[in-house]
Amino acid sequence: MLGGDDILQGLGYLALGSRLKRLAERLQADAAKAHARMGYPMKPAQFPLLAALDTRGPLTVSEAVDALGVSQPAVTRTLGSLIALDLVETERDANDSRVKRIRLTHEGEMLLLRMKLELWPAIDQAAGSLTAGAGGDFLAMVGHIEAALETQSLEQRTIEAQSDLRIVPFEKSLAPAFAEITRAWVEDMFTLEPEDEAIIEDPTGRIIDRGGEILFVEAGDLGVVGTCALMPSEGKAFELTKMGVLARARGKKAGAFLLEAVLERARSLHAKGALESLFLLTNARCEAAIHLYEKYGFVHDAAVLERSGARYSRCDVAMSYPL
């Protein structure tokens, strides 16, 4: 059924919801087939309610909601379909006419008796055999996850796991931020050269319109605090350039976050055939930056230095990124 390798598996925990849903659909479809084969007039969504009535005796709608852990409309609908099959019946409570008490009919009890003896043990055994040899008690793990979700929702856990860094793509209104950030770090360590000026003045013309990209990183309340560009060079070679993060955002790993994003874009452009090679030019005094570049896979490349190093007088280090 699953042809080739499975994308959902590759996504790890991210796609767990989709994956469990897919698995659940299959299990329910097979359970429905088994019930149909035995001639039981039931849909799989109905038997949790039947089972609840069997083990707990008559229940009100609210009690059933509580016992099954599904929404109240889900119970109301299932109830309707079971009444249509004459398997359950309802009566209003004598004391409180809002509440409806659900009980099995005799027919329902007999059907349930047959299912419990004839089919359910087989399904239970079959499902058990699916998980056998999987290296643990699957039901217990599902129970553990349900309990963990009760303690703290996935959404809450996500918020806690999340950093406040955001990626923002270039748009005209961000041109001043691009200039400001670039000026800040260049003037801090070097002096602004004509090449810098030209790019800062017209990022749209020099980068965007020529097929390049500029990304920004935003750090929560601090707003845009960093930028980095992929600028087309000779042929399909691109230069990673103008990477800088404002001093006030140090320590938030904004640089690494931004570099990751830019490299992701470079790989995507490479996959589309728009980009064939990627290099960068820098200066040996930028130790932290060079360390970061190395960490993300850039390698020192003398050939690049020779070919393009003359663009900036400050440039004495060149690196390229293996694609």
Partner DNA sequence: GCTTGTTATATAACCTGTTATATATCGATC
Partner DNA sequence: GATCGATATATAACAGGTTATATAACAAGC
DSSP string, 120-189: HHHHHHHHHHHHTTSSS-HHHHHHHHHHHHHHS-HHHHHHHH--SEEEEE--GGGHHHHHHHHHHHHHHH
Query: From DNA, a second copy, none, which one binds at residue 76 (CB under 5 to 8 Å depending on kind)?
Result: DNA
One-letter identity of residue 115: M
Q: Are 219 and 164 in contact (CB under 8 A)?
A: yes
Does position 150 bind DNA by CB under 7 A?
Answer: no
Q: Which does 260 bind (CB under 5 to 8 A by kind): DNA, a second copy, none?
A: a second copy
The minimum distance between CB 2 and a second copy, in angstroms, equals 4
How far apart are the C-alpha atoms of 238 and 228, rounded to whole Å? 13
Q: Report DSSP letters for 179-198, one per residue.
A: HHHHHHHHHHHS---HHHHH
The partner in contact with residue 72, picked from DNA, a second copy, none with C-beta cut-offs of 5 to 8 angstroms by kind, is DNA
Structure tokens at 135: 């290296």
Please report where in the chains the tokens 């019946």 appear, as a residue: 89
Q: Please say which residue, 5 or 188, places its beta carbon nearer to a second copy.
A: 5
User: Which of a second copy, DNA, none has residue 100 at its interface (CB below 5 to 8 Å by kind)?
Assistant: DNA
Residue 130 contact partner, candidates a second copy, DNA, none, CB within 5 to 8 A by sort of partner: a second copy
Cα 215 to Cα 106: distance, rounded to the nearest angstrom:
69
Residue 27 interacts, among DNA, a second copy, none and using kind-specific CB cut-offs from 5 to 8 Å, with a second copy
31 vs 28: CA distance, rounded Å: 5
Q: Which does 8 bind (CB under 5 to 8 A by kind): DNA, a second copy, none?
A: a second copy
Q: Among 34, 51, 54, 61, which residue interacts with DNA (rule: CB under 7 A)? A: 61
- The answer to whether the beta carbons of residues 281 and 312 sit under 8 Å apart is yes
Per the CB < 8 A criterion, the answer to whether 26 and 58 are in contact is no
d(CA 239, CA 300): 14
| Partner that binds at residue 222, options DNA, a second copy, none, CB closer than 5 to 8 Å by kind | none
Span near DNA by CB under 7 A; candidates 96-104, 167-175, 211-219, 250-258: 96-104
Closest CB 189 distance from a second copy, rounded Å: 27
Among 7, 29, 148, 192, binds DNA (CB under 7 A): 29
Residue number with CB closer to DNA (1 or 302):
1
Minimum CB distance to a second copy smaller for 31 or for 318: 31
For DNA, the binding residue among 11, 14, 36, 72 (CB under 7 A) is: 72
Using rule CB under 7 A, residue 98 touches DNA: yes
CB of 106 to a second copy, least distance (A): 9
Smaller CB separation from DNA, 59 or 305: 59
100 binds DNA (CB under 7 A): yes
Q: Is 85 in the site for DNA (CB under 7 A)?
A: no
Per-residue tokens: 292: 């970061």
283 half-sphere exposure, CB direction, 13 A CA radius: 14
| 267 part of the interface to DNA, by CB under 7 A | no
Shortest Cβ distance from residue 110 to DNA (Å)? 21
The number of residues that bind DNA (CB under 7 A) is 31
HSE, CB side, 13 Å, CA atoms: give it for residue 256.
Answer: 12
Report residue 322 as tokens: 């293996």
Q: Which residues contact 101 (CB under 8 A, 6 or more apart)?
A: 58, 59, 60, 90, 91, 92, 93
List residues binding DNA (CB under 7 A). Answer: 18, 21-22, 25, 28-29, 32, 43-46, 60-62, 70-74, 76-79, 81, 95-101
